[in-house]
Amino acid sequence: MSDDWSARQYLKFEDERTRPPRDLLAQVPLQSPRRVVDLGCGPGNSTELLIERYPQAEVIGLDSSPDMLRQARERLPGRPFVAGDIATWNPDERTDLLFANAVFQWVPDHPTVLRRLLERLPQGGVLAVQMPDNTTEPALALMRETASAGPWAAPLAKAAAARDDLPTTGAYYDLLRPLCTRLDIWHTVYNHVMAGPQGIVEWFKGSALRPFLSPLDDEMRSGFVADFMARIARAYPARFDGKVLLRFPRLFILAVR
């Protein structure tokens, strides 16, 4: 399995995954930004929202994954999508909106990067960020538990550390507020209806499971998935209609320079 992101797997739950960027964009106070950059644009689902909202703006998607960029270019032909790493990338002076849905949780030392990017925005510019705040949810705890309890424990020793808990809201406030005229931080907890435990496993194969599955060969990977699935089935009981609810807390940050 390649370490690249799979656009196809990610988009299996496109409606659910596109709801947080809709909710985030609804709070962006800009009327007519000149340049908008979708950081970690993925397959272009969040970029499409930005183009709909700001048809006059120059909207650019940036991502580090070739598969995601290919998918985004197919989805939105003629639009600029560029390869880049958020850890080192900088906006140019015409950039009025940096939009980052579901990406900063993967960027090492992301608070420092958020601060640097915010510093580079012009007066009135906006940094809008959403990250899953779910590392203590059962599904993620069970990923780590599965990783440490099987024949795959050695190759996965580093995977469990791939995502830290997010800093507290207070820490983000202290870090970013000195650079802002307005800072709004909030949480939303979604409850996604999944067809069954299999749905939860499929959901995370497109995101948080990637660091656990990519180091394994086919046989180990099947064993890992079966073990994880059994744990998920115990932790997420079926509702009256056989469906399961995937509780999903997310953190939103809206910073106006």
Ligand X SMILES: C[S@@+](CC[C@H](N)C(=O)[O-])C[C@H]1O[C@@H](n2cnc3c(N)ncnc32)[C@H](O)[C@@H]1O
Catalog residues that contact ligand X under the rule CB under 6 A: 5, 17, 21, 40-42, 45-46, 63-65, 68, 85-87, 101-103, 106-107, 207
Q: What is the spatial distance between Cα 255 and Cα 98, in angstroms, rounded to a whole number?
A: 10
Q: Which residues contact 26 (CB under 8 A, 6 or more apart)?
A: none
- Smallest distance, ligand X to C-beta of residue 123, A: 26
Residue 154: both structure tokens together: 């050695």
- Smallest distance, ligand X to C-beta of residue 11, A: 9
Nearest to ligand X of 33, 40 (CB atom): 40
- Smallest distance, ligand X to C-beta of residue 179, A: 21
Nearest to ligand X of 63, 133 (CB atom): 63
Nearest to ligand X of 38, 231 (CB atom): 38
Nearest to ligand X of 17, 79 (CB atom): 17
Q: What is the spatial distance between Cα 173 and Cα 169, in angstroms, rounded to a whole number?
A: 6
Pair 156, 215: CB distance under 8 Å: yes
Give residue 81's region: left, alpha or beta (phi > 0; psi -120 to 50).
Answer: beta
Backbone phi and psi for residue 69, each to the nearest 5 degrees, phi listed first: -65, -40
Pair 175, 113: CB distance under 8 Å: no
- Smallest distance, ligand X to C-beta of residue 63, A: 5
Residue of minimal CB distance from ligand X?
A: 42
